[in-house]
Structures are given as C-alpha cells and as structure tokens.
Chain A
Amino acid sequence: MSETPCLLLVEDDESDVLFLKRAFAKTGVKIPLQVVENGRKAIEYLAGNGPYWDRTRYPAATHLLLDLKLPEKSGFEVLGWIRSQTGLKNLRVVILTSSAEESDIQRASQLGVDSYLVKPIHFTLLLETAKAIDEWVRNGRAPESYSPSQTISRSDL
C-alpha cells in the first residue's frame, strides 16, 4: 500500500482546490488526489476513522499538502497530531498557505515539513507549483521552500 502514492490536500477554499486541480490537469499531473476541507477531517482521514475506514475509497495518504489557516482544527494542530502518531512517521508534509509570516515558516520548519510554499496569486506560477508537487510525490524531491528574502516588496510612493 505504502508504495502507491496518494496526495491528501487539506484546503478549505473551494477556488484554491479548483485551481490546483486545474493546474494538475494543465501540467498533466496524474497523482491520486484526495481533498478534505478542514483540520478535523484531515485527522480523521489520516487515522482512518469514520467514513475514511474504507481505504479502497479513501486510500491511505503518503503525502500531505496542508494549509495552515483551516476551520475546526488549524494546520499546526494537524501537524502536531501527526508528529505524535508513530504510524505516520513516513507521511511527508508540504505546507501550502497564503501566510508568508516568518513565525509560521519557523514553526513549520521545527515540526519537520519537507517544504513551505506560499500560494501564488498568478495561475502561471501555480502551474510551476503543480509540477514541483508532482516531482515531490513521484520522485521524493521536495519543492524549494519559500524564503523571506523573496519578500522585497514592490513598494513605491
């Protein structure tokens, strides 16, 4: 089972789910994708509780694409829970969020994520993100993390 990759996307914004799916389709990414819309459901899915006991319908996730600001349970709560589960030692996690806050980046890094990505506003950039995620799930090469030095803002008068 663990050999079959499965990406679980935890995302409450419907549009973001739609765009990512479209980006996957556009770039020909064919990795199995499951979606839950809040932190509580993410934990249920990973634990195989409730409706998620059925692993034929809901295959066990090998990779997790996690938003931080989520209803019911935040991304950090989910991440904390994952780290307490010995059965999820091999679960790979990438953060995909709109927060570029230094504190979030640090905290995620301390909780041992593969990468920290900031959601791009451009769809064309999202296509790049989709390719990087495909590379990560299929070949294990983690996408390059967002770095604060990229924040030099386009400020002006």
Chain B
Amino acid sequence: MGIVDGEAGNGAKILAVDDVEAKRYAWVKILTRAGFHVSTASTGKEALTRVKENPDLVILDVRLPDIDGLDVCRRIKAEASTASIPVLHISASLITSEDRATALEGGADGYLTEPVNPEELVASVRALLRMKRAEEEARKSARAWQTTFDTIQDGIVVVDGTGTITRCNEAFLALTKRAMAGLVGTNLRRMLANEFKLEGIEQFDCSSRGRERHSAELRWGDRWIRLTCDPVSNGASMGGLIFIFSDVTVRRAAEEEAREGKEQLRHMNSTLEDRVFERTERLQTAVRELEAFTYTIAHDLRAPLRAMHRSSEILLEEYGPKLDGEGQDFARRIIAGAEKMDALIDDLLEYSRLAQSKIRLQPLPTAQVIEEARQSLLSDAFLRPSEVVLDPGLPEVIGDRILFQQVVSNLLSNAMKFVQAGKTPHIRVTGERQGDVVTLSVIDNGIGIPQESQSRVFQVFERLENAQDYPGTGIGLAIVRRAMERMGGDCGVESEAGQGSRFWVRLPSAARTNGGRS
C-alpha cells in the first residue's frame, strides 16, 4: 500500500477528534504510519482547547457529544490564530449532500464520509496540507513583495489595459502627495497631464497597446523624472503596464554642470590662442611705444644740448678775450653740464636698449675683448692714465661680444675714475674657471666701497661719491648688471673703504663647448 512510503508526513502535526475510541485508534494508527504526529481529542470542548497547540490540520468528526462538529469548525475558523488550520470533516454514512454543503460553508476544507478508506484519508490530509503550505507561501511572498514594492525609491504604478491605476507604491504616493485611495481607479495619463502638467507624457501609450519598453526623461515641476513604461506579461495576453518614475534631478544637474564645464573649457581652449595673441600684441604695442619714447628722447633732448654746448664753445673761442676769468668759468660750466647730460642720455638709452637688443651668445676671446675695451677708453679725457695688467691665460667665456665689451669697459673706467687724487690707478684683471663657470675680476687700488653701500652700487642712479669729485652718470654698474643678466651670468663686488675693490662677473665657460679643453 502506497501510504507508507511516497511523500512522508513531514512530521506534520494532526489533531484527530472523535468520540469513539476505536476510531481515534484507527486514525492514529493510519496517520502515524504515514509519518504524521497525531494527537487526539474526544470532545468538542477538548478539540477547541487542543487546537490552540497549533496543529497543521484537524480531523473532525461531525457528530460529537458536547458541541456539534460543524460548530467546532466554525469556531476554529472564526478565531484569527487558528483560522488558517485546515479542517477535514468526517461524518457517518447516510449523510445528505445538504449536510455536506452546510459543513463546507462552515469553513471546512474537506469532507469524507465513512467508511473512510485509509489511503483516501492520507491522500486527503496530504492534499489539504499542500494547500495550506501553498497558501502560506503565497501570503508570505505577497507580504515580501509589498514590502519590496514600498521600499523601492522609484515611484511604481501598475495600470490595467485601459490605463487605470490598479496599484502603486509608497514612493509614487510621496511623489504625487496623494493617498492610495485617491489614486487607484484613476486614469494615470490623464492625471499626469492635467494635474501634474508632466510635459511629454503624451508620448507614452498608457493603454495595453504599448508592447515595448518606452523610456524618457520628463520635467516634473522643478524636478526631472525618468519615466519607464514596461508592459506586464500576463501569460499569453498583455495585461497592463508598469510605470516607473525615477527622480534624476541630481544626475541631470551634475550632467548639466559637467557639460557647462566642458563647454567652458572648450571655449577657453579655443580662445586661448586668441588671448595669447592679443596679449602679445598689446605687449608689442607697449614695447613699440617705449621704443618711440626712447627715440624721442634721443632726438629731442639732444638738440638743445647741442645748442648749449656749441654756443658756449663759440662764446669761449671767439668772445673769450671779452670775458674775465669768472665769465669764462661760467661758460665752461655750461659746456661741462651739457656734456654730462649728453652722457646721461647715452647711458639711459644704452640701459633701455639692453632689455630689447638681440644678443648672440658665442665663445669670446676674453683677453682680446678686454684689450679692445681698454683701447677704447684711452681717448676719454675724464679717465686718469692708468696701469692695466691682464693675467696671462684668461679663460674664454660664452657671451655676447658687444655686451661683454660694454661690461668690461664700464668696469675698467670705474676703476680708472675712483682713485684718490694724485694716485695712479693700478688695475689687475684675473680669471678663474671652476667647472663650467668662469669668474673674471677687475681689481683696483681705488677708494673702495663701504660694506653698507655695496648692495646699492648696481642700481640705477646710485652714486656713492660726491659728483664734484668724481665724474659719472650713476648708470654704469646698472648697465653691467643688466648686461650680465641678459647673458645669463651675474656680477658682484668685494670691497673695503680705502682698500680698493674687486668687481667680479661670472659667465659660462667656453671650454665646455670646445670639447672639454681646459
């Protein structure tokens, strides 16, 4: 007999209720053998007590001595905690179909008439247990589904084939600020178009004709919503549609920002060249203006100087005899003043030209350039006859020939000028190469420079000495510094008041580019 094996009772608990002990014994025997745990009750009252132990199924004799079996069943079904327990009625033979209907209406889940075949009993019990389990599963999954449905952040609406809302989740209620009751039964598209002014909703086919997923981003007030519509497959036929409302406002804002940033960057890139060009243009204009200014100085300031100088010369030359000593002295002062100013203009022009002139860096024969500079100074009446000694084998440097000669000339003329009255200037030029750098020094026996003034001597118009005693414009060393900077070198001074000075300049060594010759 197949009741022993096959699907086991799974340890399900069954309460068997019958007032006849022999029958109770038979139920216990049959069901235990089928793998169930069986407990029994002999009266309706006892059954109602024991059913609280929560059996999985109750076998209930219709005719009980105290309470009618149908009534017991009704009470079990009426009580919430026991309502889900299946009840299998068993009644004596000769029962009418009317009785059977009454029993089922009272909530019984099954009905067997005696004599009960053991196999039929076990099969019925199993069928009812299966049903119960299926119902429980369904309830559980429905609960789980609703919870999930409501947990989803996106608004979800289910509509039927006519576009009428049948379900929606909490998120959709929050989005519309409506109660569930006010939404279910409403036409979704009409509501969105009329009440929420959702632009673009018309592109969504809210009837069951839409059979494919459709998706679009729509403006919902000040927010952006991605609306996705999916048909619900109801087996073979298309049931309704599911609408999902995702709030994409933040993402849209970020995208917008990124797009604007990109656009701005693109714009900046495309205008960068223009802006560089424009600035260069402006800079060039400024340089041209400066050049024009310099040019004007060169021409216009010199004309009155020539008039002063030449007039005074002629005055002295041709009218000198008519002037006394003092008158001649004044004429000479005009000449000296004009000459000083002429030199000043020369130096200022030279200084400003230094910033703009093109330079050509090349290896220079140091000794030769220094000698040329010395020669050019010989005709200068302001300079004292001097003794200039060049150390043998001065290392060659890399520089611009014109600038370098100017530097040397300025340093030599300084050394020749700033010497105590009555003393012959002794000047020595030395050179030293250290690695890639050559240091050239112009050492004099002049008046020296006090420590505290040494940092100022390379600035424009810095004159440390009384202009009466020593001639000059105060620009010479500024020219030296600027020229050295332009050639990528530097300069400095070491001195003590009354002890002479050592002016030094540093330039890259030419030996390096000559293949390491030292």
Contacts and interface: CB of A to CB of B under 8 A. Distances in A.
Interface of A: 13, 15-16, 19, 22, 68-69, 97-102, 119-124, 126, 148, 151-157
B342 A121 contact: yes
Which secondary structure dominates chain A's binding surface? loop
A152 B339 contact: no
A123 B309 CA distance: 8
13 contacts: A13-B303, A13-B307, A15-B311, A16-B306, A19-B306, A98-B299, A98-B302, A121-B342, A123-B313, A124-B313, A148-B402, A157-B462, A157-B472
Contacts of B295: 69, 99, 101
B100 interface: no
B132 interface: no
Nearest to B472: A156
A148 B313 CA distance: 26
B302 A154 contact: no
A150 to B, nearest CB: 9
Which secondary structure dominates chain B's binding surface? helix
Interface of B: 295, 298-300, 302-303, 305-307, 309-311, 313-314, 317, 338-339, 342-343, 346-347, 349-350, 357, 373, 376-377, 380, 382, 402, 405-406, 409-410, 413-414, 417-418, 457, 462-465, 470-477, 479
Interface centre among B350, B373, B377 (most CB of A within 10 A): B350
B344 to A, nearest CB: 10
A104 B154 CA distance: 81
A157 B417 contact: yes
A119 B306 contact: yes
A13 B357 CA distance: 30
B457 A157 contact: yes
B256 to A, nearest CB: 56
A134 to B, nearest CB: 19
A98 B302 CA distance: 7
B298 A98 contact: yes
Interface centre among A15, A119, A153, A156 (most CB of B within 10 A): A156
A66 B235 CA distance: 108
Contact of B413 (A22, A101, A102, A156): A156
Given A119-B306, A121-B306, A157-B463, A101 B298 contact: yes
